[in-house]
Structure 1
Amino acid sequence: MQTLETFAPPAAAEHLSDAAITAAIELFFLTEKGVPAHLIDVATHEGIVQLTGITDNLLASERAEAIALAVRGVRGVVNELLISTPDVPNDALYRAVTDALAADPATTGYHVACRVAEGVVAPMGVVQSWAEQQLVLRVLRGVRGVRRLVPDELTIRWGELQNSDEEITTQIRELLDWDIRVHSALVEVRTDDRVVHLSGTVGSAAEKAQVVTTAYRAGAARVDARDLFVAYWALSPELRRTKYADRSDEDIAAAVRATFLYDPRVLSYQPIILVHNGTVTLSGAVGNLRAKQDAERDARAVVGVWDVQNLLKVRTARFIPDDDVTQTIKAALARDPYLGFFDFSVYVRNGKASLYGQVGSHFEQRQAGAVAAGVNGVADLANWVSVAASPGFDGFAVYQPRPNADFALAERIRTRYFWSSALHNQAIEVLVEQGRATLTGTVATWLDREQAAYDAYNVGARYVDNDLVVATDGGL
């Protein structure tokens, strides 16, 4: 049994050496499920991380890059991971990618076809936005057997009425100003012939990636972010104080509504948005469960939102028999790169799916729920998938800790938070008793609160009592 030692933070927190960053990423890969840590090599030079080696699916490659981007001190990631997935015959893979696009509530309405050859999938067709294009690619990455995507023929129809360069710049600025995931005060935006040029400073590589994504969502044909630098000092809470200034309920409602316009899962619906003292209430109807979930997540990412009451009702556009939904969920789970090797039981009654089975990690448990929720016809979901008890990082069962095992787990959680670009400077207290982690204190956002609990599970907590409070002033 492999033993993981706690990686002690360097004494001088202001300077994070390349060696320390590499060690932190390798530790994250060992504790994060869904990433084959033993097959990935990490090298860091002046904060730029290079990932080499192999993974067995595209989602794992994407996940490894996202994990590295979120590590404090990382300025960028060069992903050179190779995909080595088991061979799937062309006919079988074609059916799998076609079924995946048809099963997803959003992409089922897109006019997209695929060519398949030796694990290489080339989607063809026309979509209405960059966000729709990325959604198609995301669905295809989630099919076991896909080695590479070639999206050259998946084009975006910009339409006759296109935003001017000035309008694109204005939209990017407004979206960044309202996004709790980025601090945009030090970011400059300029648009020339639909090419967006970003310059200035952000505090993390993950933050930079979010800024680039926002530019594309706002209509950029291309984004040049070479002059947008990542600097550790830009994470200072003092610099971000204005980000959490009081916002009126009317302005918050308008910002939530604008966010929905850039989410292809929510765009076609018109949720009713009411805001009172920063609490957002969403009501009305959407066509699928993923749209309901994404609407809430979109709202929680808006500055000034204190809480979200999600009263949205799922009303599918057409009746889909429960038996058909059951079979579609089972097929979706079977073709997922992470879940295809587990046995699940699925029961659907009046559109509510109940999912049973046993997996090896909380990541896989969440993935199972996400896959089932993403099936057309699912109006509600009860995820009863359990996580099998497994040996802890010290070789002993998590639920039967030996003396000092709780102390070691608490240190692993604190180390994880230290290296998180989002959590390292937040007031989180960690207490562990009998493998159960209790988190108290304050964090800046609901996303941070969720991430803190997820990180605690990842490093070995059997249960997490998340008593973290989201501060209305961003925790400053």
Structure 2
Amino acid sequence: MRQLRRLVLMAVCSTLVVASPTRSLAREGVTQQVHEARQEGSVWTAFAFNRHLSPFSLNVDVEGSVATLTGTVENEVKRELAEQVALGIDGIETVDNRIRVDPGVRPRLVSVAAVDERLDDATVEARVKSKLLWNTRTEGLDIGVESREGLVTLSGESASAQARELAGKLAASTEGVERVDNAIRVTGEPGTVARAQSEVAQAGNLLGDAWITGRVKTRFLSSDNLGALDISVRTDEGVVHLAGTVATAAEKELAVETARNVRGVLDVQAASLKVAG
């Protein structure tokens, strides 16, 4: 079924490119927005797994190759560290560091369970954004998405009441969403709706890799046998690639099975995960 959806999407996109140069340019813009959303997830995941930064509430917004960072940390060293971590993400060339320094800010104690919960919120936001980006009536709107423990809050402006209602329905039908607070303001005239549902389904997969990588790392960290091991994790279209060195074949097998049991993982490649000796 997944392969069928991809073939259908490829056929639809090919038709759009031939039939409408304007639509092709619009699609490029949407693809760029999806790419930016994935980069935001990658930066956030890097923050979540950095022991110096994870206790602080930091936010990232990516536009083009520029990442804008906001939040508060306790000293200048950690402010600069956040900037360097963001610059380490592929495609991020410039960082607009708006993080404030407040010596009085109290770092939070972050457990593995808490990181897991924050990753759930991040992936729900990504899924909702992807649906909005790939729908004709919502792709051009400036809609903010925030998720917290199943509650998704939509903000921004809409050209019509119909588009606002559609954005709310798209968010409500997303996996992991329990309630929607639709705070989008209506400012213009109604538009039209025209998009194959297969595109929406496919877009939901484009933003999953950063979440899967974070979830696999979380599972490793929470394991008594894997938490202390230096295993790198990379995900490409649902396929997890493991690399590094472990002490025994049993540890390698456990790492592979742990990754394979994470929701969304299609396959695990571990040829680069070596057994010492």
TM-score by length of 1: 0.18
- For the pair shown, which has the larger CA radius of gyration, 1 or 2? 1
Task: Identify, as 1 or 2, the structure richer in helix.
Answer: 2
